[in-house]
Amino acid sequence: MLIKIILLALVIYMIVNLFMAMRVMMKNDPKDGPMSKYIGRRVLTSAIIVILILLAVGTGLITPNPRPY
C-alpha cells in the first residue's frame, strides 16, 4: 500500500512540473527560470516511477494483472 502512495505522489509531482513548465512557456518571463528545468524534473520523475514499478513487481510488492489467456 505504501508503494502505491509513493507512486501516486510521484505522478502528481510529475503533473505539477508539467503545468509549471507550461506556465513558464506561456509567460515567457526570464526571471521564472528556463522551461527545461521543469521538463527535466518531469523526465527524471517518470524514470524514477518506472524503476520503482519494476522493483516493486520484481520483489512482489505489486502483483501485475493476470494474463487474459
**String of b and e for 18-57 (b: at least 16 CB within 10 Å)?**
eebbeebeeeeeeeeeebeebbebbeebeeebeebeeebe
Write out pLDDT tens, residues 10-61.
999 999 999 988 888 888 777 767 888 888 999 999 999 999 999 999 999 9
Q: How many CB atoms lie within 10 A of CB 67?
A: 5
Where does the pLDDT of residue 64 fall: very low under 50, low under 70, confident under 90, or very high at 90 and above? Answer: confident
Mean pLDDT value across residues 61-66: 88
